[in-house]
Every structure is written in structure tokens, then in C-alpha cells.
Amino acid sequence: MIYLDNHATTPVDPQVVATMLPFFTEHFGNAASRNHAFGWAAEQAVETARQQVGALIGASPKEIVFTSGATESINLALKGVADMYGDKGRHMITVNTEHKATLDTAMVLAGNGMEVTVLGVDRFGSIDLDELAAAIRPDTVLVSIMHGNNEIGTVHDVTAIGALCKAKGVLFHVDAAQTAGKLPVDVNAMGIDLLSISAHKLYGPKGVGALFVRRKAPRVRLSSQMHGGGQERGMRAGTLNVPAIVGLGAACAISQAHLQSESARLTALRDRLFAGLNERIVGVTLNGHPTARLPGNLNISLEAVEGESLMLSLKAIAVSSGSACTSATLEPSHVLTAIGLSPEAAHTSIRFGIGRFNTEADIDTAIQVVSEQVGRLRQCAVALA
């Protein structure tokens, strides 16, 4: 099998696994146990990971809160702000191409009295900054916009958005699950107040993530959504998952060390894949922004080919027809319909997610197999017509 679904999840880097293993057996202490060496070792490992995560995004270690993943981080950010800043305002802004973790949370808040403005995007999946500026009101407390889209790969200009939010005195949350460790992220330069990441999107383990919470200029305060032991400065109670947190830290350190070279390599592989498919297949359309996109993302529509049928025919290649979180539904992708595709056109899409362990040989095999299967499916469609 050739794995080309790295937006859904990534394999854990062997170096990350090696770093984690001692914390299952040798250093198994509870990081909250302050009375003996087992607890001290666990606490030190957690603090090292906190430094590694902070370094990747330009944050202080004290601004990192560990969670179970980006979905929990997003929930904590949005619900925590809504609860804490309710006296200031009851309005937030997001975008219709966000991950369901953001959109569904926003809808829950809307049901609890928060007014939510959902902005549209253009045909490339980009927002209009003037439209965002016009949507910000005196009672707006939060703008939540993802950095890079998990389906079509479009990267938003979060620096410009952050500057706008700062000028308006509005908190800015960024879902960086797809960009942390793959594109440069600097929470201070970009004017970000809250930022969510997930370890399993950057070659770390599943079930762990982090939320950046700004401590000054401004100091962001959140209402906890989980209560109990007071861990993570009272923002996220529960015994810390030390092995996973160690893995997240190691994954961040590795990604930071190789970010530029890996980004360039993945971009080259993506372009090789798109060029090869275009050369062999008629009717290929790129979905998302042609240049402002994730390095390893290629989302295409194939004329007269049903995406699910193609995906199932690629027995030796793992790809996706949409987000992993919504792939169980037969509804067309909300992201693809948001950029103007008809439900029929949306159903012809395939998402390739190229990652750290893919090679040129993988790409060349994918080009050959996909083009052969597209030809076969089109011939079958003609025969049945």
C-alpha cells in the first residue's frame, strides 16, 4: 500500500516512537506527583515537551495547554472565550470552509445565545478581508479561522487577519492542525491569540494536542470545559498523558528542524503528481488556491468519474474523497460546495495528502494507477450509457 492520505493522519515518526517508549515502562510516573522521583521525571518530560511545542509556533512554554487533540483545543478555545467574555459581547465570526470541529462548536454556541457570523469564500477557498472587517462589530469577541484547509489545501493570510483583529480589539483563534510543523507559524508575528494543533497531523501519536493561549498583550482568559484536578493552569483538568505529550514534543522538534527542506520536497512531489495526472488524464480540475496551499495537498475533480468509485478502485493506494471526519457520509463536501462546486462535481473529487515518508516512486506509481483506473471507469460509464 502507498499511503497518500496524510491530511487524515500521519504515521508516527520512528524517532518519536523511540522517545515515547521509556515513558510507558521506566518513567511511568504521574506528572502531578510532586513527592518522588517518578513524578519529577514525568513533570520534567512534560515541561520539555511544552518548550518544544512553544518553540515550533514562537510561543512561551507557559502559553501551551495540553489537550487530547485539535478538536478539544478548538472546543476549549471557542467555548472558553464565549463563557469568559460573555459580558463583553455575544458575537463571533468564522468561515464556511472550517473543519467541523469549529463549525459544530460554533453552532452549539449559537444555540446557547451566541450570535455566529459564517463568512463565505471565493472559488479558491479564500476569504475577503474587507468582508471580514465589515463583519466585526462592537460586540464581537472572537474570530476563528483555520490556517490551512484540510480538504482543498488553501492557506489563509493569517498575518493580515491577525493584524485586523488586533486593530479591532477582537481575539483571534487559528486552527493550525494542518500547518503546524509544515509551514512557518509565529503566533506573535501573526497576531494570533489562540492556536490549536494535533500531534497526529505532524507525525506524532493520536489522542494528544495543544492549545496556545496568549498570556500578554492581551492576556487571554478561558473558562475551563473540564473540571477536576486543576491541571494545565486550571484550563484543562485530568491526568496528563505523559507518553503522548512527550511524543508531541518530539514531533514538533523534528518538524521544526526540517520544516523548510521538507516543505520544499513535498511541494515538488505535489507538483510532480499534478503534472503527471494532467498529462495522462483529460478533464482534471484543481480545487483550492493554485499557489497559496499546503505543500503536500492536491485536491482535484475528475470529469465523468465518481470519486468514491475511483477511491475504491485504487486498492494499493490510500487516498480520500474528503475529510476523514466526514468521509462516512454520502453528502458532498461542505468545503467543495462552499467554493462553488455543484454536488455532482463535488462527488468527482479526490484528495491526495503527500507526507514525509512518500517518495518519487510512490508518486509515479500513483500517476500510473490513477490514470489507468480513470480510463477504466470512464469506459465502463460509456458502456453502461
Whole-Å CA distances, 179 to 38, 189, 283, 289, 356: 35, 16, 30, 15, 14
Q: Is the pLDDT of residue 324 over 80?
A: no
The domain locations on the chain are 2-6+259-384, 14-254
Fold annotation for 14-254: Aspartate Aminotransferase; domain 2 (3.40.640)
Q: Is the pLDDT of residue 323 over 50?
A: no
Q: Is the pLDDT of residue 328 over 60?
A: no
Determine which helix (DSSP H) or strand (DSSP E) holds 352, and give its type and residue range. strand 349-353
Whole-Å CA distances, 356 to 19, 178, 259: 18, 14, 11
Identical fold for domains 2-6+259-384 and 14-254, yes or no, is no
Quote the mean pLDDT of the chain. 95
Bridge-based pairing of strands 349-353 and 297-302 is antiparallel
pLDDT score, position 114? 97
Q: Classify the phi-psi angles of 181: left when phi > 0, otherwise alpha if psi is within -120 to 50, otherwise beta.
A: left
Work out the average pLDDT over 354-379: 97
CA nearest to 190, candidates 142, 154, 158, 156: 158
Catalytic residue among 165, 252, 325, 380: 325
pLDDT score, position 383? 80
Q: What value does the CA radius of gyration of the chain take, rounded to a whole number of Å?
A: 21
Bridge-based pairing of strands 171-175 and 194-198 is parallel
Q: Is the pLDDT of residue 111 over 50?
A: yes
Bridge-based pairing of strands 2-3 and 317-318 is parallel
CA nearest to 123, candidates 283, 289, 274, 285: 289
pLDDT score, position 329? 59
pLDDT score, position 85? 97
Work out the average pLDDT over 57-80: 98
pLDDT score, position 381? 80
pLDDT score, position 271? 98
8 A C-beta contact, residue 103 and residue 119: no
Q: Which amino acid type is present at position 298?
A: L
8 A C-beta contact, residue 151 and residue 335: yes
Catalytic annotation on 325?
yes
Q: Is the pLDDT of residue 222 over 60?
A: yes
Q: Which amino acid type is present at position 201?
A: K
Which CATH number is 2-6+259-384 given? Answer: 3.90.1150.10
Work out the average pLDDT over 333-339: 96
